[in-house]
Structures are given as C-alpha cells and as structure tokens.
Amino acid sequence: MATTITREFLEQIPKTDLHLHLDGSLRIPTLIELAKEANIPLPSETEEGLNELVFKEKYEDLPDYLRGFGLTCAVLQTAENLERVAYELAQDSIAENVRYIEVRYAPQQHIHPGLSMDEVIESVNRGLERAQKEHNQSPAVRQNGDIPFHYGIITCAMRFFNRHMSAYYAQLFDVMPNAPAKEVIAIASLELARAASRIAHEKGIPVVGFDIAGAEAGFPAIDHRDAYQYAHVHFIKKTVHAGEAYGPESIFQAITECHADRIGHGTFLFATDKVKDPTVKDPAYYVSCLVDYIASRRITLEVCPTSNLQTIPAIQTVADHPLRRMLETNLSVSICTDNRLVSRTNVTRELELVCQQLPVSVAKLRNIILAGYKGSFYPGPYNEKRALVRQVTQRYDELAEKLLGPQQD
C-alpha cells in the first residue's frame, strides 16, 4: 500500500521555486498600499474585490491572466518599491520552507529617467539579500537545525513589446524610428544580456540566468539568438519560456538556437499535432527524439500546474496535465508557482495538487524536490551546490521517516 503524502510533510520539506515572476507575486495588501501612494487607480481597493475582478481562480484566457501585470508593474517603478516587493517575496517563500528561489523579471519594464538598469537590479537584490541574511543568521540555521536560504536573479527579455510598455521601450523606438519592431526587440534583448553579464561580474550580484517571456506564437525564440549567444559565452545560464502556448518546435528552437539549460513550462512537449514545420515528415519520431534528448541531457522543465490550468483551456485538471507523461518518461521536473499572486498559489499548494491528482510516490516526490536544487542556477561554486543537495536529501529523508513512517512505498 502506497504511503499517503500529507500536507504537513509538504509544508516542512525544503523546496525550491525556479520559475517565479517578481511582478506576478506581490502581496495584495502591498499592491493596494503602493497604488494609493502613487495615485494609481485599481479596479478595487479591497483584497476581496481584486480577487474577484483581477486575480481570479479561473481566467478566460492568457490575455485575461496577464491583465493584472499592468497593475503590478505600475507600482514597481521606484527602487524602494522594488526592494520591498522582493523582500516580501523572499519572506513568503522562506515561511513555507522554500529554501532556494530564482526570481525573474524584466528590468527594462522598470527603467525610466529616474531609475537605471543597474538601480533596478540592485534594488531587487537588496530586498532578496536582506531576507536571506535575516533567515541565515537565525539560531536555527546557525545551529544546523534549518537549511540556509539562497536565491538567484533571472533577467527576462520580452518576446514582444511596444513603446507604451515602459519609458525604456519608448526611447528605444525613438532612437530606431525606421527599424522593424523585430529588430528593436532583438536589440533590447542583447542589451539586457550584456547588462546582466556586466552586473554579475562587476558588482557580484547573483544574476544567474537569462530568459525571454511573452507571447510565443509569432515571436520565435530565434529572434533573440544574439542575446542568448552573448549570455552563453559569458557564463550566464539560460532558460526559455517555451511550449507554454506553442508546440514542440518552440522547445526544440530554445535548446538548439538559444542553448537553453532549462525550459519554462514545456507544456506542449508531447503535442505531435502542434508540429507545423513541413520539413518534419514524422512528428511522432521528432517528438520522441526531442523528449529523449531532454531526458538524457537532464534539461529541467519548470512546470507550473495551476498557471497552466488557468491559461490553457484544454487542461482541466492536474490529472490531465502533461506532467504525468513527463514523470513517466523520467524527465527532470521541478514544480514551480509561476506567479504567487496571479495564480493565487504557493509551492506547497502546487505540490499538494500534484500529489493528490497524480500517482506520485514518496520516492518520486523526492526526485522532483531534488530536481529543483540540481537544476538550479545556483550562484556559488559547484561543490557548495552539491553540499546543499546532500543537506536537502538528508532533511527530506528525516522528515519522511518522522512524518510518514518507515514503509514509504
């Protein structure tokens, strides 16, 4: 008889969140307070009202899901607000025993004449670093009773933007008035990759990864190839939002053209019907080879179940999610939140949904938890990362013995 994985166990085990958007993970009271201070109108000034009108349990489609980001980005236009929100996000993660997070955001959405690229990244880092120091200096950590908290920063370029999305984007279109939008977007991505590398090297800020986000269909990752090549040769690790709203070809392109070390979502990895390239004569064989490559290279998939349920109508429950096949194929899978606010979730809740609706054993869950740490873009030496994985493994096994008993499967 299989061991029942309890909520208490999921709460106490040390977890990761590798796919975590800063601007999608504010506390609602903080959003309301910051909006009032900046005279930014909200659809409601109460938590209940915003949950009903904006941050819903179910969304009509992806544009409906993304609506709230217009509000959150609007209040994140000062160094103080960026620092505060980053600090609170780290606090919320630590409170549920998440011990490693990678916070991603698009710095260029926050740049304006009063706030530079460096200041945006430095502000977020200050907030994360403050929370880290508070936790790691606690008696529990100092006496080896708890696991230290670590974090990395992932800078996000946009697959598409227009001049109205930020002052930075408007200025870029002004200096390139006759250039195709595709070229302007590519330049912005390359500039961000250069800034990420420079800031990580010169200032010691743990900018550990580069990403692109936004609409996949019609805005292929290959348009950002120069930025990814720059990140690649400057030792910045790469992840790509791919296979969330497009098919296996998007994932293939992320790996072959952008050197992706990880894939954000990867939801349509197995969707042979979405292979559109006419040169692919056997879609089933193509997908089989792609899956095998991802498995053998241990390219971690950052799976965000609730977010997918909210934005992909074809997926009604976690039991319907391709995560089942990902686990059956022994892919490296890490369970993530995507957006704690917009999806009204946390890591514990995501893991609970998975364990309730899929055949996940204690051993399989152990692999999922460790995949988050092993697949992380950890900002320290490899030997430190290995030591952290060993510490997490020991903690997991101790909690399994204590809370679930010796017969685990």
In a domain, 408, yes or no: no
DSSP letters for 311-361: H-TT--SGGGSTHHHHHHTT--EEE--B-TTTTT--HHHHHHHHHHHS---
Tens digit of each residue's pLDDT (9 = 90 or more) over 6-42: 999 999 999 999 999 999 999 999 999 999 999 999 9
Which CATH number goes with the domain that contains 156? Answer: 3.20.20.140
Q: Which residues pair with 264 in a beta bridge?
A: 241, 302
Over residues 156-210, the pLDDT tens digits come to 999 999 999 999 999 999 999 999 999 999 999 999 999 999 999 999 999 999 9
Q: According to the model, what pLDDT value does residue 90 have?
A: 98
In a domain, 389, yes or no: no
Per-residue tokens: 215:
């609409």
Directed axis angle between helix 283-296 and helix 248-258, to 10°? Answer: 50
Q: What's the pLDDT at 256?
A: 96
The end-to-end CA distance of the chain, in Å, is: 7
> CA of 67: how far to CAs of 72, 200, 217, 286, in Å?
10, 32, 19, 36
Residue 11 lies in a domain: no
For the residues 276-286, what does the mean pLDDT come to? 94
Compute the distance between CA of residue 10 and CA of residue 351 in angstroms, rounded to an integer.
7
Q: Is the pTM of this model over 0.75?
A: yes
Per the domain annotation, does 302 fall within a domain?
A: yes
Instruction: Determine the pLDDT at residue 408.
Output: 46
- DSSP E strands in 214-278: the ranges are 237-242, 262-265
Higher pLDDT, 284 or 311: 284
Percent above pLDDT 70 for the chain: 99
Binned at pLDDT 50, 70 and 90, residue 1 comes out as low
Query: Does pLDDT of 380 surpass 60?
Result: yes
Band of residue 216 on the pLDDT scale cut at 50, 70, 90: confident
Calculate mean pLDDT across residues 309-325. 93
CA angle 220–112–86, rounded 5-degree value: 75
Structure confidence at residue 407 (pLDDT): 52
pLDDT of residue 67: 86
How many structural domains compose the chain?
Answer: 1
Q: Per the domain annotation, does 192 fall within a domain?
A: yes
Domain residues for the domain of 339 are 16-377
Residue 72 lies in a domain: yes
Mapped onto helix, strand or coil, the DSSP state of residue 376 is coil
Q: Is 406 left (phi over 0), alpha (psi -120 to 50) or beta?
A: alpha
Phi, psi of 18 (to 5 degrees): -90, -20
Please, what's the b/e burial string for 283-318 (b: 16 or more CB within 10 A of its CB; e: otherwise)?
beebbeebbeebeeeebbbbbbbbbbbbbbeebeeb
pLDDT tens digit sequence for 32-42 = 999 999 999 99
Q: What is the pLDDT of residues 43-90, one digit of tens each?
A: 999 999 999 999 988 888 777 888 899 999 999 999 999 999 999 999
At residue 57, the pLDDT reads 86
Burial string for 58-97 (b: 16+ CB within 10 Å, else e) reads ebeeeeebbbbbebbbbbbbbbebbbbbbbbbbbbbbeeb
pLDDT per position as a tens digit, 248-258: 999 999 999 99
| 288 contacts: CB under 8 Å, gap ≥ 6 | none
Q: Which residue has better confidence, 196 or 216?
A: 196
Greatest alpha-carbon span in the chain: 68
Q: Is residue 405 part of a domain?
A: no
Residue 383 lies in a domain: no
Catalytic positions, written as ranges: 244
